[in-house]
Amino acid sequence: MMSRDFTEQEQRLVALFVHYRHGVRERILVYVAYVLPSILFATYGFSNADFAASLLAYLALLLPASVYLGRYRRTLDLFRSIIEKYEAKLRARGAPST
């Protein structure tokens, strides 16, 4: 049972980490779906000296990376909040914190 001290978003994040069962294979397949077409398009652009194709391939990589980093930042802030609350509870109980 989760503590009532955690917000709904924090509880969802903890549940996600606890129940996350996807392995390395699934993660690689997701990355390949974004990266491989962009690499192929960039290779085409460089081999044909097509600046527009190379720029489009770069933007195709930049957009998912930016979205991923934005999500990572929000998740990191939530996770930091969870850890701070947990550490405060440990200190309140008199347990030594690291």
pLDDT 10s digits, 22-63: 677 877 777 787 778 778 877 888 888 888 888 888 888 888
Q: Domain-by-domain residue ranges, the chain?
A: 8-93
The three state secondary structure string of 31-79 is HHHHHHHHHHHHHHHHHCCCHHHHHHHHHHHHHHHHHHHHHHHHHHHHH
Average pLDDT over residues 66-90: 82
CB burial of 39-59 (b: ≥16 within 10 Å; e: otherwise) equals eebbeebeeeeeeebbeebee
pLDDT at 2: 54
pLDDT at 1: 46
